[in-house]
């Protein structure tokens, strides 16, 4: 069943989408005041979603989020000090989301839920171009509105994009898969992925 929070978010998204369509189709009809009103509404909507994500809590006993982030919105940050990476962490894995930072797959677990966390990012210089420089033993930090988590890298692999057996969605202990397209300097389509494997070593709810 869809929760009231999710229903409300979906309705808001639909309303914003309709406003944008109207804005595009009637750009020559609307005056500056009308356009400003639409922009203000979009700003209010984005602020509302941001505040919702800040209020996300985790059930420490069941290890499940009470409410999940809205798809495509930021709910944390990811940091790898050894290679100077510090990026926004988003919920979702669409192309639009991955242009903004690191995505978290909704088909896996979120940090703190006790299972496999699957995060991905483009091999852009500003995102994961230097992921291959991370060594075993390095720490990956994920900070969210509901908790802070640290994962220690223990392995890395180059896999085919369809090799899902190498990133199984386990639920008996928490680990992090962090991957990007390979080769790192590849431009356009890439059929391989570079994957970091890291175990949860520290963390908990705020």
Give Rg (Cα) of the chain: 19
Lowest mean pLDDT among 22-26, 43-47, 88-92: 43-47
The answer to whether the CB of 66 falls within 8 A of the CB of 56 is yes
196: which DSSP letter?
A: E
And the tokens for 133? 């420089």
Lowest mean pLDDT among 20-34, 45-59, 65-79: 20-34
Q: Is pLDDT at 26 greater than 90 in this prediction?
A: no
Q: pLDDT of 150-200, one tens digit each? A: 999 999 999 999 999 999 999 999 999 999 999 998 888 899 999 999 999
| Residue 44 pLDDT | 42
User: What is the three-state SS of 54-118?
Assistant: HCCCEECCCCEECCCCCCCCEEEEEEEHHHCEEEEEEEECCHHHHCCCEEECCCCECCCCCCEEE
What CA–CA distance (Å, rounded) separates 123 from 126?
8
Most confident of 20-29, 38-47, 131-140: 131-140
Q: pLDDT of 5-18, one tens digit each? A: 444 455 556 655 65
Q: Which residue has the higher pLDDT, 18 or 2?
A: 18
pTM of the model: 0.75
Q: Which residue has the higher pLDDT, 140 or 32?
A: 140
Work out the pLDDT band at 40, boundaries 50, 70, 90: low
Count the residues in the chain.
206
| Residue 18 pLDDT | 58
Q: pLDDT of 64-123, one tens digit each? A: 998 899 999 999 999 999 999 999 999 999 999 999 999 999 999 999 999 999 999 999
| Residue 70 burial (10 A CB sphere; 0-12, 13-18, 19+) | buried
* b/e 44-63 (16+ beta carbons within 10 angstroms → b): ebeeebeebbeebebeeeeb
Torsion, Cα of 125, 128, 134, 140 (10° steps): 130
Work out the pLDDT band at 59, boundaries 50, 70, 90: confident
Question: Measuring CA to CA, which residue among 137, 124, 120, 133 is closest to residue 78?
Answer: 120
The answer to whether the CB of 71 falls within 8 A of the CB of 106 is yes
Separation of CA 21 from chain center = 27
What CA–CA distance (Å, rounded) separates 200 from 141?
10
| Residue 67 pLDDT | 86
């Amino acid at each position: 069943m869809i929760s009231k929070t999710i229903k409300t978010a979906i309705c808001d998204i639909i309303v914003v989408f309709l406003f944008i369509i109207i804005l595009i189709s009637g750009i020559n009809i609307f005056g500056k005041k009308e356009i400003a009103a639409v922009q203000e509404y979009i700003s209010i909507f984005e602020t509302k979603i941001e505040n919702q994500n800040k209020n996300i809590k985790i059930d420490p006993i069941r290890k499940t989020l009470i409410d999940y982030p809205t798809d495509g919105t930021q709910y944390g940050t990811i940091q790898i000090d050894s290679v100077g990476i510090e990026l926004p962490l988003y919920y979702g894995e669409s192309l639009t989301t991955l242009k903004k930072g690191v995505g978290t797959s909704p088909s896996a677990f979120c940090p703190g839920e006790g299972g496999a966390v699957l995060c991905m990012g483009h091999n852009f210089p500003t995102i994961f171009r230097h992921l291959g420089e991370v060594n075993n033993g390095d720490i990956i930090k994920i900070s969210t509105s509901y908790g802070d988590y640290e994962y220690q890298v223990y392995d890395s692999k180059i896999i085919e994009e369809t090799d899902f057996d190498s990133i199984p969605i386990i639920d008996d202990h928490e680990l992090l898969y962090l991957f990007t397209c390979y080769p790192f300097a590849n431009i356009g389509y890439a059929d391989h992925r570079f994957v970091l494997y890291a175990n949860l070593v520290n963390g908990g709810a705020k």
